[in-house]
């Protein structure tokens, strides 16, 4: 792998940047691998990279029906934070946040991780109580969360309407300073390039159409490019996880919904941080390019069309203008949708299944981008050892029968 550095930039300038190495190969599928990852989004690619790098398993294929990162990974609004309520979730997302900090160096790829902080606004007394409870829980878990007053909020984000005139006046917020945003497609590309350089085969335009299962044990997959065998298969397919599970003969407690995002025309720097509101129901940050990156809620019905409905667009922008009245005349440039796999307790599923050797990593719903490094790392550890990593273990699919749910609706509330 050609390493990127200031020196290489200067060197390639001499040949007009025409001789950079390709990011990854485009291999023909082998008959057999040690591990197959289904889904070439951030989580699948991260899993492959950690498998190769940390666990020495390099005979790995990532099978992607479209192009790498073309699912939710490159459709999200890139918020990274770890201020979740329950211990299990806090551990998982904090593990991820720790990995984010060194990710650009680890991958030799600039993922533009920017710790500009996240505000979660409270507009009602109950909101305030929830914020206080969550901040206290966060601090017990070593997360740098604090409660801030409207005056402090005004200092952090002057453009936000913190006046009493607002329809839903801001009463306070939780503030996580180490949270922020990252460049989503760079995350996919960085992991892909790293995994490829360690020998992982990235198979694009290859769709898994079924599983090869004998005596309750998986031994490969059917694809539109022929059968590929492996005794360990990890499915990381976000909105399409339920479709894959039904191919293997079981159900998942997931529903697939469109979630939309919008970006505006580019503006001069105006926002310092990420502002989220459950109550007014929207969130916004500003990309380094200058566009406002905006999101809100899911479309309430099941859907696999990656677009989303107009009423949701309208509600989203109402919320943004309620929080930032000065944006009322900003024009939106683009809008799109991704299919999110929502789970009843708003927590992911990292789990073995009733088919031996077949693992699922899904249910990240509206908020899994922030978890990409941590999810990939603990899932790779689980696939390598055949036992779920301690951080992943509480997220077993069994919890929907034992009742040991990890209810993060309070921390999520708004899609993020």
Partner 1 sequence: MFYIHCPYCGERREEEEFHPNGQAHLVRPADPDSVSDEEWGDYLFFRDNPRGIHHEMWVHRLGCRKFFNITRNTTTYEILETYPMGEQPTITAETAKVRHEQGVQTADGGWQTVGARPENSTLNEETPS
Ligand X SMILES: Cc1cc2nc3c(=O)[nH]c(=O)nc-3n(C[C@H](O)[C@H](O)[C@H](O)COP(=O)(O)OP(=O)(O)OC[C@H]3O[C@@H](n4cnc5c(N)ncnc54)[C@H](O)[C@@H]3O)c2cc1C
> Where along the sequence are the contacts to ligand X (CB under 6 A)?
38-44, 63-66, 70-73, 75-79, 207-208, 236-238, 240, 244, 259-261, 295, 338, 340, 364, 366-370, 416
Nearer to partner 1, 96 or 240 (CB): 240
Percentages helix, strand, coil for the chain, rounded to the nearest 5? 35, 25, 40
- Assess contact for 172 and 128: CB atoms under 8 A: yes
- Does residue 408 belong to the site contacting partner 1 (CB under 8 A)? no
Distance CA(46)–CA(383), nearest Å, equals 13
Instruction: Give the x-and-dash track for 181-220 against partner 1 (CB under 8 A).
Output: ----------------------------------------
382 binds, among ligand X, partner 1, none (CB under 5 to 8 A by kind): none
DSSP string, 96-135: HHHHHHTHHHHHTS----B---EEEEE-SHHHHHHHHHHH
Residue selected from 44, 172, 242, 413 as contacting partner 1 according to rule CB under 8 A: 242
How many Cβ atoms are within 10 Å of 360's Cβ, its own excluded?
A: 27
- Which burial class, exposed, middle or buried, applies to 55 when counting CB atoms under 10 A from its CB (0-12, 13-18, 19+)? middle
Residue selected from 154, 231, 400, 410 as contacting partner 1 according to rule CB under 8 A: 400
| Backbone angle region of 48, left / alpha / beta, with phi > 0 → left and psi within -120 to 50 → alpha | alpha
- Does residue 167 belong to the site contacting partner 1 (CB under 8 A)? no
Minimum CB separation from partner 1 for residue 3, in Å?
42
Nearer to partner 1, 174 or 240 (CB): 240
329 binds, among partner 1, ligand X, none (CB under 5 to 8 A by kind): none
20 binds, among partner 1, ligand X, none (CB under 5 to 8 A by kind): none
Instruction: Give the x-and-dash track for 344-383 against partner 1 (CB under 8 A).
Output: x---------------------------------------
Distance CA(173)–CA(32), nearest Å, equals 52
Distance CA(69)–CA(39), nearest Å, equals 9
Nearer to partner 1, 21 or 402 (CB): 402
Instruction: Return the residue matching tokens 């306070």.
Output: 172
Minimum CB separation from ligand X for residue 42, in Å?
4
- Does residue 309 belong to the site contacting partner 1 (CB under 8 A)? yes
Distance CA(286)–CA(273), nearest Å, equals 8
255 binds, among partner 1, ligand X, none (CB under 5 to 8 A by kind): partner 1
Distance CA(154)–CA(161), nearest Å, equals 8
Residue selected from 17, 18, 301, 331 as contacting partner 1 according to rule CB under 8 A: 301
257 sits in which H/E element: strand 255-266
Nearer to partner 1, 276 or 298 (CB): 298
User: Applying CB under 8 A, which residues contact partner 1?
Assistant: 240, 242-243, 246, 251-256, 300-305, 309-311, 344, 400-403
């Amino acid at each position: 792998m050609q390493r990127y550095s200031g020196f290489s930039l200067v060197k390639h300038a001499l040949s007009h940047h025409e001789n950079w190495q390709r990011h990854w190969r485009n291999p023909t599928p082998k008959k057999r691998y040690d591990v197959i990852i289904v889904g070439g989004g951030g989580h699948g690619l991260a899993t492959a990279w950690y498998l190769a790098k940390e666990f020495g398993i390099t005979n790995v294929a990532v099978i992607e029906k479209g192009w790498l990162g073309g699912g939710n990974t490159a459709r999200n609004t890139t918020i990274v934070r770890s201020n979740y309520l329950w211990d299990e979730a806090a551990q998982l997302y904090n593990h991820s946040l720790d990995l984010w900090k060194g990710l650009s160096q680890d991958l030799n790829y600039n993922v533009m991780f920017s710790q500009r902080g996240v505000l979660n606004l409270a507009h009602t007394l109950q909101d305030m109580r929830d914020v206080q409870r969550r901040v206290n829980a966060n601090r017990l878990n070593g997360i740098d969360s604090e409660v801030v007053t409207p005056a402090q909020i005004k200092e952090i984000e002057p453009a936000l309407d913190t006046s009493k005139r607002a329809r839903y006046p801001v009463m306070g917020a939780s503030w996580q300073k180490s949270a922020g945003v990252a460049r989503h497609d760079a995350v996919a590309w960085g992991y892909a390039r790293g995994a490829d350089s360690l020998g992982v085969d990235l198979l694009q335009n290859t769709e898994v159409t079924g599983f090869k299962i004998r005596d309750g044990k998986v031994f490969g997959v059917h694809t539109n490019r022929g059968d590929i065998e492996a005794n360990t298969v990890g499915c990381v397919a976000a909105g399409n996880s339920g479709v894959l599970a039904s191919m293997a003969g079981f159900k998942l407690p997931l529903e697939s919904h469109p979630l939309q995002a919008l970006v505006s025309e580019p503006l001069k720097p105006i926002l310092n941080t990420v502002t989220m509101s459950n109550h007014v129901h929207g969130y916004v940050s500003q990309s380094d390019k200058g566009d406002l990156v905006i999101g809100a809620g899911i479309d309430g019905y099941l859907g696999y069309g990656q677009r989303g409905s107009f009423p949701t667009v309208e509600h989203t922008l109402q919320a943004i203008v309620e929080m930032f009245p000065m944006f009322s005349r900003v024009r939106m440039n683009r809008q799109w949708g991704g299919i999110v796999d929502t789970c009843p307790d708003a927590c992911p599923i990292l789990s073995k299944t009733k088919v031996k050797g077949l693992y699922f990593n899904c249910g990240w719903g509206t908020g899994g981008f922030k978890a990409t490094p941590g999810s990939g790392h603990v899932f790779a550890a689980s696939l390598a050892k055949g036992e779920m990593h301690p951080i992943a273990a509480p997220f077993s699919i069994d919890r929907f029968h034992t009742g040991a749910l990890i209810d993060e609706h309070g921390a999520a509330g708004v899609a993020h």
